[in-house]
Structure formats: C-alpha cells, structure tokens
Amino acid sequence: MYTIPTFSVTQKPRAIAVLTSGGDSPGMNPAIRGVVRAALNQDIRVVGIHRGYSGLITGDFEEMNSASVTNIVQRGGTLLKSDRCLAFKDAKVRQRGAQILQENTIDALVVIGGDGSLTGAHLLCRESGIPVVGLPGTIDNDIFGSDDTIGFDTAVNTALDAIDKIRDTALSHESLFLVEVMGRNSGFIATHVGIACGAEMIVVPEYEVEVDAICFQLANNRRTGQGSSGIIVVAEGPEPGLTYSLAHQLEANGQIAKVCILGHIQRGGSPSGHDRVLASCLGASAVDYLCAGYSDIMIGVQNGAICDTPLKHVIANKKPLDPTLFQRALLLHK
C-alpha cells in the first residue's frame, strides 16, 4: 500500500515520548501503537504523554510497554487523551516542557496532531534542540506535505453514512437538506463527501458562496426532472452559523432547506482500515526517522510513498484544495 523508506540506525534515542494534541481523530491509537511497537522492537524505552502539551509541561507521563497498546488499533479517540494547551504558545512554557523531557532522559518526541500541534512541535524542536517528528493527525486533511491525514478517511465515511440516511428522508419528502461537515478552514471533507454522496452542491471555505448559483442549480434540477429533493454539503467554515445563514438566504429566494449539523460524530468511531494502515505505517516510520538522525520534520504520504517534509514548510504553507476535484464534483451534478 505504501512505499516505506528504510534507514540505517545512526543514533538510537534512550527513550522516545509520544503525545496526541489538538482535535483528536480516528487513527491516533493505531499511530501510537505503531510508535510504541517499533520503538520497543529497537529496545527503545517509550513514554506516553497524557493530554498533549498540557501533559508535557506538567510531567503527566506513562511508561509504555507492548501491553499498553494491545487491543487499541480498532478504537477511536486517543488513549493518551488530547488537549488544546494555549500556554504552550509561550516560549518559556515550551522551555519548561523541554526541561521535563531532559529530566526524564527522553531524547526524542513524536507529536501526532494538526497544524497547530505541528507548529508547537517545530518551535519546541528549534528552541530546545530535542529531536521532534510530527505526524499529521487531523480529520481535516489540510496539512501541507501529506496527501492524507490520520482520521480523514474515517471522517469522510462517517459523514457519508449519515448523509446516505438523510438522503432517504429527503427523497421521501422531496425536501432539500443543507448538511454541515467539519472543516473550519478547508473543504477537503466537504468535497470528498459531496462527490461520494452525489451532492447537488458543495460549499467550501476556499470558494465564495453564490446563493444565486445554488438557486439556479436547484431550479434547473427541478426543470430537468431531477426532482426538488437534494443534499447540499457545507463545510462549517471559520465562523459558526454559516449553514443556517445559507438556509435563511435560500428561503428568501423561495427555497426551503432543512439543516443538519453532523458535528463531532465525524471525530469519533472506529478508524477505517485505510486509517489504521496509514497511522500504523506513519507511527513506525517516525521511529525509523528518529533512529536515522532526522528531526524537525513531519512524516506524511505523497503519491503512495511515505516521506518527510520540514516542519517549517508544513506550518508555513496552506494545502490547496484541488480545483479540478472541486469542479469535477460540481460537473457531476449539472
């Protein structure tokens, strides 16, 4: 499934710590398991850090062994728990975290999280010199340097399962639904789910919402015998309330629309087979890269190959939504 790089071991850490940070995602547990099992196979001590950077700066640690990660590959969420620790934006707080790692003879850190977590990882590494490797753990799939992120496939399938059910009642009552999916700043979930569920329209933060175009498309659907029921998939966007606002604008144009907010259901559930394989491979590769002397990188997948991208590039760039894919989605419902 993936081309996995191999390396010779140049500097084996005495101990590797691993944490999950930011919005959790299905697949974080297989990633943790990959790190733990790969490190133990190299006789490297593994320390699990609870609650992301909050646990790092308070020394909330757990010695991990093979049994620690038994029977978790199929479980959603993260057994190490996650957190949003705003204090970590303070360099002095990061310095304290680095000091705690050194006091516990931890020579390297694996951070599993989204762009915010990877920013914290880069700063910690640059400021302390402690080798850090990041893994893209977010359902949003909006991480530069990787075609995929841990949790994206599961979230798409979770949303798709819900929308297929909504489609049943939309058809029964010939009604229009605006279904909101997650993605504050990116439309990857909305675009993939929109294509997969045959949505009439897709609304993403990357492109301006055109209510007139939506009304025209819906009227056209009615004219061409596609009926008046339909699903419009809406990415939540940066401001709350977008989908209800869109429903009100459609109503002002004579188009009644029901709203369904999928919300945090997309963040849970048993990780898909795809996410389990992706997360396990990335987790194990994190150990390989660290033992080969790599640091301040994110390990992702590009064109089917596991590869590394400097964290400074990951956090400095926004991953673009492929316009062709988005246009293809719209074309499929002309």
Residues 42-61 that bind ligand ADP (CB under 6 A): 53
Give the interface with ligand F6P as residue ranges (CB under 6 A): 23, 114, 138-140, 182-184, 236, 267
> Per CB under 6 A, which of residues 130..169 are in contact with ligand ADP?
138
State the number of CA atoms in the 13 A half-sphere of 58 facing the CB.
10
Q: How far is the CB of 186 from ligand F6P (least distance, A)?
A: 8
Q: Which residue out of 60, 115, 140, 275 is catalytically annotated?
A: 140
- The β-bridge relationship of strands 108-113 and 176-181 is unpaired
- Residue 43 or 239: the one with the smaller Cβ distance to ligand F6P is 239
Q: What, of ligand F6P, ligand ADP, none, does residue 136 touch, CB below 5 to 8 Å by kind?
A: none
Query: Torsions phi, psi of 321, nearest 5?
Result: -80, 125
Instruction: Give 306: exposed, middle or buried? Use CB within 10 Å, 0-12, 13-18, 19+.
Output: buried
Catalytic-residue membership of 140: yes
Q: Which one of ligand ADP, ligand F6P, none is in contact with 113 (Cβ closer than 5 to 8 A by kind)?
A: ligand ADP
Smallest gap from residue 140 Cβ to ligand F6P (A): 5
CB of 176 to ligand F6P, least distance (A): 24
8 A C-beta contact, residue 111 and residue 122: no
Count of residues in contact with ligand ADP, rule CB under 6 A: 18
Question: How many Cα neighbours within 13 Å face the side chain of 39?
Answer: 33
Residues 107, 15: contact at Cβ < 8 Å? yes
Contact by Cβ (8 Å): 180, 234: yes
Q: Which of 13, 16, 19, 22 binds ligand ADP (CB under 6 A)?
A: 22
Angle at 146 between CA 264 and CA 194, to 5 degrees: 45
Active site residues: 140
Contacts with ligand ADP by CB under 6 A lie at: 21-23, 53, 84-86, 88-89, 113-117, 119-120, 123, 138
